[in-house]
Chains A and B, each alone.
Chain A
Amino acid sequence: MQFPILSFIVFTPIVAALIIFLIPEERKSEVRVAALAAASFALILSIWAYFAYDIRSGGYQFVEQVSWIPALGISYKVGLDGMNAPLVLLTGVVMFTGVLISWGIDDRPREFFTFLFILATGVFGVFVSLDLFMLFFFYEIAVFPMYLLIAIWGWKETREYAAMKLTLYLFVGSVIALVGALAMYFTAGLGTFDMLELEKAGFSREFQILWFPFVFIGFGVLGGIFPFHNWSPDGHVAAPTAVSMFHAGVLMKLGAFAALRVGLMLLPEGAKFHMGWIILLTLVNVVYGAFIASVQTDFKYVIGFSSVSHMGLVLMGFATLTREGFIGAGIQMFSHGVMTALFFAVVGMVYDRAHTREIPKLGGFRNVMPMVAIAFIIGGLVSMGMPGFSGFIAEFPIFMGVWKSYPLIAIIAAISIVITASYIIRVVGQVFYGKLPQEFEGHVHDVTVLDKIALVILSFILIALGVFPGWMVPLVESGVEQILRLLGGA
């Protein structure tokens, strides 16, 4: 039998969470070491799975299936394809760097890492699930620890509000999506939640048109689709650093990915019918998100709203229903995940030292932490779609896809590039350059070695993808072929 690599990836974090929970509370450094070991293991496995995937044969690989509740046709079924392989890798990377960044957490680290790892299992699970029920199962596992992580370790001013808002938004979204999923289950009448079977169920056009918006928008809430994006900047800001990294870096992809997997791939006719107006929503995301980001004075809110703008591009790529659009969206999910993890890591490092995030009060941080400044600049260049960095590789095909379907929208959406450039330059200038304010003299120190390692890993990925897209694009392309087959064949 084949080595069950995906199960190992999915369950490593939760097993680690249990082990960590058994460590006595006061032995904090052992907790940290255990967390790092587990994260390294998950990262190595996800790198392995990523590169072991055979692009030429395509399709779902490393498939495992174990019947779970046979009476309802629910089984634990996982598989890797071109769309989710980069996301699994992304989760591995964010988890690893997240642990590195959180090394300094002193308030109940044991519980913190436990919840963080439960969250990670949920995220891995959603990405690799091929069973609709399991997908929801893992989805809820991912959302719930988020509440605690924000409410307990979050920013004191807004954590209760933000945690509540986030959780309610996401629950409402997932309930709506669940209704759609149940409708699919019963209408198909196959007695199975297996998505590969449901793909072939041949839902009637009317059915698809009716239910597609439920599923797509329901999951889209977690992807930050306008007008349901409101929870996300609040949630990002309130969350502690590692959680923000997870949240913006990985969780938002969960929404977009599920909207793709369940909405688009199971209800392709519905997608074709509705995408005309959905792309308008994503256009609002892209342009309005960038504009709102540019008028924020809180460092973390700038990044929070920039996520709304960039996730809009992912959903816009889906909404084009073109090959280029899907390829771009697939890469953008990965690229944005790494970029925004980098951003939130930097914001956290600045905040930990300055204890304020008001941009006008900051300045000159390059002098005390030069590496952080360089990392932020690299992230910023990715964010503004500068060629040579991964953002360009991702956004370019998305725009090509939009040109194919709605040329006018491409032109309007492009405005966001200049807006993004302007706020990134402003933030870089005001936070990292200029004079270090007097009150920080002597109090602000450079980041730790672990922080630097995390930053180097994230920056390296962004540049590597920008210069040599060849290590990811063919993979995503093979995943996209599958989606196109469903869209064309239905």
Chain B
Amino acid sequence: MNFFTDHILSIILFSPVFAAAILFFLPENQEKLLKWVSFVLSLIPLGFSLALWFLFDKNAAGFQFVEQFTWYAAINSSYHVGVDGIALSMVLLTTLLTPLAILASFSINENIKSYMILFFLLELGMLGVFLALDLLIFFVFWEFGLVPMYFLINQWGSEKGEREIWGGLKVPARTYASFKFMIYTMAGSLGLLLAIQMIGVVAGTFDIPTLFERWTSLDKSLFGLDISVVKAIAFWAFTIAFAIKVPVWPFHTWLPDAHTEAPTAGSMILAGVLLKLGAFGFLRLVLPLYPMEAQRYAPALAFLAVMAIIFGAFASFGQTDFKRLVAYSSVNHMGFVVLGIAAAAYAMGGENAIIALNGAVLQMFNHGLSAAGMFFLVGVIYERTHTRDLNDYGGLFPLVPVYGGILIFTSMASLGLPGFNGFISEFLVVRGSWPIFTLYTALAMIGLLFTGAYILKGIKQVLHGPLNEKWVGHLTEINPREIFVIAPLMVLMLWIGVWPAWILDVINRAVLALLS
């Protein structure tokens, strides 16, 4: 038992590697076996993270279940992991979405073995970021997660579509999207990498808790520049890397392509968890390492967030591709996360900041649920119709009543209808930000209005209106496996919407620690 509680984070972190290793030795052609083994194995990290959730002491401050081992002693970097309430909720989200995404991938038929192995490696990368308490380890997992995602989009992405690149050369859309995703994110993390190296050189350590004190209290001049200038540059290097991942307008252009071309499960994880990595970076690193800079530049960040909210909603409304519509909705929803973070950074303590930040973290969790759900539902209908064009659908409600009900349910949660989870978190963000950035928050309301518009547009085009006759007899109802994927998400959406205290208690403690 002691071994278990002492190393629970490492067990959670590396059980996906264990799973991938098992899959590696299974025969390639046993597709059914591979799928079920993957699903069962993906429940292991979920089981452990549920155990972690109950073992976690909600009233204790600071990081819990900390483990530290030497890793790269020559440059003072160690394998150092730990969780606080924010990381805990993200770990739970990741380990919950992975089995669901794997279950959603049961319809994939080619190269199932490599696909599942990549999926587990992706889970490893994401969990590592949430658990890392060492800057270098953080970066290791941050970058590493790109590789499986790249291949998932590149190999199992949608097979249709072509994109013209420079020189009139035509490439498959998934090649284009995966390349853009990879290079965009790598270029974004270049600044992060350089800033991490610089911090390591200046502070002599990569340990995050140590850096919280040592880096913030640094006040000598560096490289012939004033320390405030150096910090401002490093702040932006971090911020841009995370802003690309979130994504914050105007760094979001990789997202619609990547989402649209990714396989369904890939989109679920991409929207559900990968985008959270960016927001998590703000919380874990930017706010504690650069409190002064964060405060100074918070209005700029809030401005970008509001732009993301408004333009995300407009762009979403303008789409005719169902999956692109959902993709742009992520830009819109993640904008609220960044708005909450910016407001908290600007106020730095106080009731409003606490509310806004709680809202932001909860919104991360909620968006994880609803975006994963929405992408899954898009995938369900795409698999049956092989089109994502909204104009090709129409009046499908009578053909697929159960699917229609689920789609409306999930859409409403995504829209932020009271009683669902999205309402709680967006309300908290807006309530917290209002006294801090009144104008921006008011502007964000325009976005909220259009959120309603695009979601209703999606529902209307798919389910209502005149029935498109060609689907009669061809469209089958959502099957039990698929219901099993979406059901846990629906339960959680409703549960958090009705009674959010169970998760907010965990988050709040970490938020208080962050703002103190």
List chain A positions with a Cβ less than 8 A from chain B: 324, 327, 381, 384, 386-388, 392-393, 396-397, 399-400, 403-404, 407, 410-411, 414-415, 417-418, 421-422, 425, 429, 433, 469-470, 473-474, 476-477
Contact = CB atoms under 8 A, between A and B. Distances in A.
B136 interface: yes
B73 to A, nearest CB: 7
16 contacts: A381-B147, A386-B147, A387-B142, A397-B74, A397-B75, A399-B193, A410-B198, A414-B190, A417-B186, A418-B190, A422-B183, A425-B150, A429-B154, A433-B155, A474-B73, A476-B74
A473 to B, nearest CB: 5
Contacts of B321: none
B200 A400 contact: yes
Contacts of A384: 186
A328 to B, nearest CB: 9
Interface string B490-505: 0000000000000000
Given A387-B143, A388-B144, A414-B190, 4 more contacts: A324-B201, A399-B197, A400-B201, A474-B73
Contacts of A324: 74-75, 201
Nearest to A401: B201
Contact of A399 (B140, B155, B194): B194
B72 A473 contact: yes
A415 B190 CA distance: 8
Contacts of A417: 186, 190, 193
Contacts of A477: 74
Chain B interface category by residue count: 20 to 34
B147 A400 contact: no
Contacts of B194: 399, 410-411, 414
B70 interface: yes
Nearest to B233: A411
Contact of B143 (A386, A397, A410, A476): A386
Interface of B: 70-75, 136, 139-144, 147, 150, 154-155, 175, 179, 182-183, 186-187, 190, 193-194, 197-198, 200-201, 223
A288 to B, nearest CB: 18
Contact of B75 (A396, A415, A429): A396
Contacts of B143: 386-387, 392
Name A's interface SS: helix
B182 A403 contact: no
Q: Which of B144, B179, B194, B197 has the most CB of A within 10 A?
A: B197
Contacts of A386: 143-144, 147
A469 B182 CA distance: 26
A228 B374 CA distance: 57
A470 B70 contact: yes
B182 A387 contact: no
Contact of A387 (B73, B144, B197, B200): B144
A473 B187 contact: no
Contacts of A387: 139-144
Contacts of A473: 72-74
Contact of B154 (A327, A418, A433): A433
A469 B71 contact: yes
Nearest to A466: B140
A360 to B, nearest CB: 11
A425 B71 contact: no
Contacts of A429: 154, 175, 179
A279 to B, nearest CB: 16
Contact of A403 (B70, B140, B141, B198): B198
B223 A393 contact: no
Contact of A410 (B144, B150, B197): B197
A470 B71 contact: yes
A469 B139 CA distance: 16
Contacts of A470: 70-73
A422 B183 CA distance: 7
Nearest to B201: A403
A488 to B, nearest CB: 18
Nearest to B125: A388
A388 B14 CA distance: 14
B201 A421 contact: no
B74 A474 contact: yes
A404 B75 contact: no
B140 A421 contact: no
A429 B187 CA distance: 19
Q: Which of B136, B141, B175, B201 has the most CB of A within 10 A?
A: B201
A137 to B, nearest CB: 34
Given A386-B143, A387-B139, A418-B183, A396 B190 contact: no
Nearest to B139: A387
Contact of A469 (B72, B142, B187): B72
A418 B198 contact: no
Nearest to B28: A370
Nearest to A392: B140
What are the nearest 6 A-B pairs in CB distance?
A: A387-B140, A403-B201, A407-B223, A387-B143, A473-B74, A388-B144
